[in-house]
C-alpha cells in the first residue's frame, strides 16, 4: 500500500513539472503578441499624426498662396464700386444711402437753417469759421491739429453772448447741444454702420457715443434683414492702460443680452476678455490677443461657450499701407475644420469700407461712418 501511494505521488509530480514549462511558454507567447500589437497600434497612430500634420502644413501653404490673389480681387472690386460712386455725381442719393431717407432730409434742413443763421448773426459767422477749421483738421488726420481746433471752438463758443447762444439753442438744438458738450469737455459723435451680405441681406446699426473725461457712453439701434430691432447701450471707463466695458442688448421682444469685459494694452500687445450672458445663463466668451509691429498686426481670438465646452479659434493678420488695410482671417472649428477669407479696408475722411472674399467666392461688404454731423457735409 505504501509503495502504491509513493508511486502515485511520483507520477503526479512528474506530470506537474512536465506541464508547467509548456504553459509558461504559451503565456509568454501571448504576452509577446500583445506587446507587438500595442507597438503596431502606436506606430499607426504616430504615422497618422504625421500624415495629418503634413496635410495641415500643405493647407496652410495653399491658403497663403491664395491669400494675396484674394486680397487683390477684393481690392479691385472695391475700386470698381468706388469709381461707380464717384461717377454718379448724385450727392443727394449718397446722403440718403448714408443716413437713411428721413435722416437725409433732417441733415439737409440743418444745413439750410445753419446757412441762414450765418448770414444773420456775425457771432455765428465766427463760430462757423471755427467749425470749418475743425472739419479740415479732422480730415487731415492730424490729431494734434484736431485737438487744437477743438480748443479754439470751445473758446469761441464761450465767447458768444448769452442771447446768441439762446438763439442757437432755439433754432438748432442738436448743434447747440453738441457745442455745449464740447464746452464741458465732452466729445460727441453720431454714426451709421451698414453690413451687406453675399445674398443681399442688410444689417444696420445707428447710434451715438459721448466722451466725458475717461468715460464713453454709447447707445444705438441695430436693425436686421427681417426688420427686427435691438436696442444697445454701453459704458466704457479707462483706468491707465485698461478699458472696462459693460453693456446690454434688448430685443424688440424684451429679451436681454448682457455684455462685460476689459481690454489692456502692454507695450505692443493688447489683451481683451469679453463675456455675453443671456437670460438663461448661457455664456459666450472671447479671449483675444493682438500683437502690433509697425504697420502689421496679428490677432488670435478664442471663442468658447459654457454650454458644451466647445471653442473656435480665429487668427487674423493685417497690414496697413496708407489708407488701405489688408486682412487675412482663418477660422478653426472644434472639429478641426478651417475656413479662410481675405479683406481690404479703405479709410477716407471719417468713412471706412471693407470688402471680404471667402474661399468659395462669396463677398461681404461693410461700411461705417462716425462723424460730427454738421462738419462732414
Q: For residues 78 and 209, which has the higher predicted lDDT (pLDDT)?
A: 209
pLDDT at 9: 43
170 or 196: which leads in pLDDT: 170
Q: Is the pLDDT of residue 45 over 70?
A: no
| Each residue's pLDDT tens digit, 276-299 | 998 888 889 999 999 998 888 999
187: cell is 466729445
Q: What is the mean pLDDT of residues 164-179?
A: 72
* The three three-digit cell numbers of residue 33, written as one number: 503578441
Using one digit for the tens of pLDDT, what is the confidence trace for 312-366? 888 888 888 887 888 888 888 777 788 888 888 877 655 667 777 777 777 666 6
The answer to whether residue 86 scores a pLDDT higher than 70 is no
What SS3 class is residue 236?
Answer: strand
Each residue's pLDDT tens digit, 186-238: 566 666 676 665 555 677 888 888 888 889 899 888 888 778 889 999 999 99
Supply the pLDDT for residue 376.
Answer: 32
pLDDT of residue 15: 46
Across 11-15, 63-67, 92-96, the highest mean pLDDT is recorded for 63-67
The three cell numbers of residue 371 are 462723424
Burial class (CB within 10 angstroms; exposed 0-12, middle 13-18, buried 19+) of 127: buried
Mean pLDDT of 261-271: 93
Percent of the chain with pLDDT over 90: 14
Cβ-contact 252, 230 below 8 angstroms = yes
Distance from C-alpha of 23 to C-alpha of 31, rounded to nearest angstrom: 13
pLDDT of residue 257: 92
Per-residue pLDDT band at 56 (split at 50, 70, 90): low
DSSP string, 41-102: HHHHHHHHHHHHHHHHHHHHHHHHHHHHHHHHHHHHHHHHHHHHHHHH--HHHHHHHHH-HH
Q: Which of 93-102, 202-211, 250-259, 288-297 has the lowest mean pLDDT?
A: 93-102
Q: Of 41-50, 226-235, 256-265, 310-319, give the range with the top mean pLDDT.
A: 256-265
State the average pLDDT for the chain: 73
User: What pLDDT is recorded for position 370?
Assistant: 38
pLDDT above 80 (res 158)? no
pLDDT (average), residues 24-50 = 61
Assign 190 to helix, strand or coil. strand
Is the predicted pLDDT of residue 250 greater than 60, yes or no? yes
Is 245 in contact with 234 (CB distance < 8 Å)?
Answer: yes
Q: How many CB atoms lie within 10 A of CB 134?
A: 20
Instruction: Tell me the range of 49-58, 117-126, 297-306 where mean pLDDT is highest.
Output: 297-306
> Per this entry, what is the length of the chain?
377
> Is pLDDT of 106 > 90?
no
Q: Which residue has the higher pLDDT, 330 or 4?
A: 330
Q: Which of 52-61, 152-161, 254-263 has the lowest mean pLDDT?
A: 52-61
Helices 173-183 and 143-159, axial angle in degrees (round to 10): 110
Write down the domain spans for the chain. 93-183
What number is the average pLDDT over the span 9-38? 51
Q: What is the distance between the alpha carbons of residues 127 and 150, in angstroms, rounded to a whole number?
A: 12
> Which is nearest to 245 in space by CA: 236, 254, 233, 257?
236
Per the listing, cell 454702420 goes with: 193
Banded model confidence at residue 140, pLDDT cuts 50, 70, 90: confident
If pLDDT is split at 50, 70 and 90, which confidence band does 11 have? very low
Contact at 8 Å (CB) between 325 and 307? no
**CB count in 10 Å sphere of residue 71:** 20
Instruction: Please check the confidence at residue 241 and state whether its pLDDT lies above 80.
Output: yes
At 8, the pLDDT band (50, 70, 90 cuts) reads very low
Residue 246 has pLDDT above 90, yes or no: yes
> CB under 8 Å to 213, separation ≥6 — which residues?
185
Beta strands in the chain (DSSP E): 186-196, 202-212, 215-223, 229-239, 242-251, 256-266, 269-278, 283-293, 296-305, 311-321, 324-332, 338-348, 351-358, 363-371
Amino acid at each position: 500500500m505504501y509503495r502504491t501511494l509513493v508511486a502515485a505521488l511520483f507520477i503526479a509530480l512528474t506530470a506537474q513539472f512536465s506541464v508547467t514549462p509548456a504553459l509558461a511558454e504559451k503565456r509568454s507567447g501571448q504576452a509577446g503578441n500583445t506587446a507587438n500589437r500595442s507597438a503596431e497600434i502606436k506606430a499607426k497612430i504616430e504615422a497618422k499624426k504625421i500624415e495629418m500634420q503634413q496635410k495641415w502644413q500643405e493647407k496652410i501653404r495653399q491658403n497663403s498662396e491664395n491669400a494675396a490673389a484674394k486680397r487683390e480681387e477684393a481690392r479691385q472690386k472695391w475700386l470698381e464700386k468706388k469709381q461707380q460712386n464717384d461717377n454718379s455725381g448724385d450727392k443727394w442719393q449718397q446722403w440718403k444711402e448714408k443716413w437713411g431717407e428721413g435722416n437725409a432730409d433732417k441733415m439737409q434742413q440743418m444745413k439750410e437753417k445753419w446757412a441762414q443763421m450765418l448770414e444773420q448773426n456775425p457771432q455765428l459767422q465766427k463760430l462757423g469759421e471755427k467749425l470749418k477749421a475743425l472739419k479740415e483738421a479732422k480730415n487731415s488726420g492730424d490729431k494734434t491739429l484736431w485737438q487744437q481746433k477743438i480748443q479754439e471752438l470751445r473758446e469761441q463758443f464761450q465767447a458768444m453772448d448769452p442771447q446768441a447762444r439762446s438763439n442757437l439753442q432755439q433754432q438748432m438744438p442738436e448743434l447747440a447741444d453738441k457745442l455745449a458738450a464740447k464746452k464741458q469737455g465732452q466729445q460727441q459723435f453720431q454714426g451709421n454702420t451698414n453690413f451687406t451680405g453675399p445674398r443681399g441681406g442688410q444689417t444696420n446699426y445707428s447710434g451715438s457715443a459721448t466722451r466725458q473725461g475717461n468715460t464713453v457712453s454709447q447707445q444705438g439701434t441695430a436693425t436686421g434683414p427681417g426688420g427686427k430691432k435691438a436696442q444697445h447701450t454701453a459704458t466704457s471707463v479707462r483706468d491707465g492702460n485698461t478699458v472696462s466695458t459693460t453693456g446690454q442688448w434688448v430685443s424688440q421682444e424684451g429679451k436681454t443680452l448682457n455684455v462685460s469685459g476689459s481690454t489692456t494694452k502692454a507695450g505692443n500687445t493688447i489683451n481683451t476678455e469679453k463675456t455675453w450672458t443671456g437670460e438663461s445663463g448661457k455664456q459666450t466668451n472671447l479671449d483675444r490677443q493682438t500683437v502690433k509691429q509697425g504697420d502689421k498686426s496679428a490677432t488670435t481670438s478664442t471663442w468658447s461657450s459654457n454650454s458644451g465646452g466647445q471653442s473656435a479659434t480665429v487668427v487674423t493678420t493685417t497690414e496697413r499701407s496708407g489708407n488701405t488695410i489688408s486682412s487675412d482671417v482663418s477660422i478653426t472649428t472644434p472639429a478641426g475644420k478651417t475656413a479662410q477669407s481675405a479683406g481690404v479696408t479703405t479709410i477716407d475722411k471719417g468713412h471706412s469700407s471693407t470688402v471680404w472674399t471667402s474661399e468659395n467666392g462669396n463677398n461681404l461688404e461693410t461700411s461705417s461712418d462716425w462723424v460730427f454731423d454738421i462738419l462732414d457735409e
